[in-house]
Amino acid sequence: MIETLHIENIGIIDNITVDFKRGLNIITGETGAGKSLIIDSLSLICGNRFSKDIIKTGKDYCFVEIMISNDDVESDNIIVSRQITCTGKNKCKINGRMVTVNELKNYMESVINIHGQNENQNLLDENNHIKYLDEYSKDKLSVLKEKYEKLYNEYVLLKLELKNNYGNEKERKRLLDLIEYEINEIDDANFKSDEEEILNDKIKIIQNSEKIYESINNAENIISSNVLDAISEALKNLSKISDYNSKYKAENDRLQGLYYELEDVCQNIYSYKEDIYFDEQEKKEVIKRLDLLYLLKRKYGNNIEEIIEYRNNIQIKKEEIENMEEHLKVVSERLENIKIEMIDIAEKISNIRKEEALTLQENINNELNDLEMKNAKIKINVDFNKNNEFKINGLDTVYFKVLTNVGDEFKSLNKIASGGEISRIMLAIKKVLAKSDNVDVLVFDEVDTGISGKAGKAVGSKLKAISLNHQVICITHLGVVAAYADNNYYISKDVKNNHTVSKVKLLNENETIEEIARISSGVISNISINNAKELRKVACLA
């Protein structure tokens, strides 16, 4: 159960702590004092979505913390908290350990079940009806549903594989033709990894051949005609005196080496003149080759290495497609076998649902009778889809129909039921499901919408009955409902430092009588007090 709820900076709530107890906890209070903020806070701690507007004006975060206790084992107390900043950042903890919002939500699903106006709307959506029936039948369905869901997940993946594996046969043939064309185009070009650099060097020389030839020719003439002749003349003079001193000989030898080096340079330069000669055909071939490379780069990669890599990858894809028929045959056979298994399990699930639907509708109808809807009847239809349109929960469509008046016919809930009737139908379902529900805490918000008098008394009685096996937290505006509480809480608002803040108080018996009198009559008088005492007395005897 929830032993303590602590809230900071939510709506007009500044900082409050509420100590809840076993049984039926009823919250009443002034209009706009923040009763719904209690439900909002519990919704936040359950990992549900939130709006940043819920954070108190002027604050940059809100915080909710609960202590979940076990009456039998003191050490089993668990602290769960969630802090949300104005930027939307979440900090969730379970017993001090950081968890994600999803982990928080999954954990709290086994602790708290919140029934509010949204769930009433969910009841009007027939897509949700199968969930109520399956929750009631979970002991009989759990093993079969687990087997079915495992097969269903594989079924979805296999169907996706059939769809995504290069399409149908015609599409695969078209893709193969394209791949073969691309492979042939790259193979026919037969580019080598270093060829781009070689081609670029060639085209530079071709485009500047006249300038290059002229410069080389001038350099050769200068070296051979001027420099070499000058050095040769110098060597003649140095050689005459080399025998006189070793220094002269050393310089003569150095100059001799320089002469040979320059002579070699001159010969190389001369040979370069032959390299820069290109006929027109060779020039066209280089340009054509570069144009082809540009085309392939535009289609397959930024350089020759990437083009070759692309070619190798599509070769692998080609082999996959060529072997796809055999693979898809295996997938198709597995898919057909799964369908047979799923149909068999789905039929078993459907038969159980049909049996359980009869007992569930009977139990709900008994509860409706107690809730002053004596002429109302719920009928649960379970239709098996023979077209094998598989869904995650089987092949059944489940929908609740309601008859509210004698002589009427069964109709959809969203076409016939008023707000008060929907609230009581939802409460009847909750009452029936509570017997098999492992959730410790049930929270009810606005469960008395659209009802009063005897119907309100019946609602209070049902909440009391549910609280025998669960901790129940309920917000109400009806004195007749509040009279059934084991613990009554009053929420009020006050102004402090120019800010409106909420506060919650656990009422004693006298204060409880006064609060029942206030919400029943609008004023506290001897008559309303006596009436409140009578309501309390009847509730205690129930």
Q: pLDDT of 239-268, one tens digit each?
A: 777 777 888 888 888 888 888 888 788 877
72 pLDDT more than 70 = no
CA–CA dist 9, 314 (Å, integer): 60
- Mean pLDDT across the chain, nearest whole number? 85
Cα distances (Å, whole numbers) of residue 373 to 170, 357, 456, 533, 542: 63, 20, 12, 27, 19
- For 1-111+439-542, the fitting CATH number among 3.40.50.300, 1.10.510.10, 3.50.50.60, 3.30.70.980 is 3.40.50.300
pLDDT band at 48 (very low <50, low <70, confident <90, very high): confident
Least confident range of 65-79, 100-114, 202-216, 499-513: 202-216
To which residue do tokens 């693979």 refer?
327
- Tens-digit pLDDT profile for residues 290-348: 889 989 999 998 999 999 999 999 998 888 888 877 778 888 899 999 999 999 999 99
Specify the pLDDT at position 350: 95
- Give the bridge partners for 354, in sequence order: none
- Tens-digit pLDDT profile for residues 293-309: 989 999 998 999 999 99
Per-domain boundaries in the chain: 1-111+439-542, 169-321
Least confident range of 91-105, 262-276, 520-534: 262-276
Specify the pLDDT at position 386: 82
- Give the bridge partners for 252, in sequence order: none
Q: Kindly report the pTM of this predicted structure.
A: 0.63
Specify the pLDDT at position 229: 73
- Tens-digit pLDDT profile for residues 437-469: 677 898 888 777 777 778 888 888 889 988 888
Please enumerate in sequence order all residues whose Cβ is within 8 A of that of 130, keeping only pairs 6 or more positions apart, or say none: 393, 396, 397, 398
183 pLDDT more than 90 = yes
CA 155 to chain centre: 22
Specify the pLDDT at position 237: 78
Dihedral of CA atoms 264, 266, 270, 273 in degrees, nearest 10, equals 110
Q: Where are the alpha helices (DSSP H) in 242-303?
A: 246-275, 280-300
pLDDT band at 188 (very low <50, low <70, confident <90, very high): very high
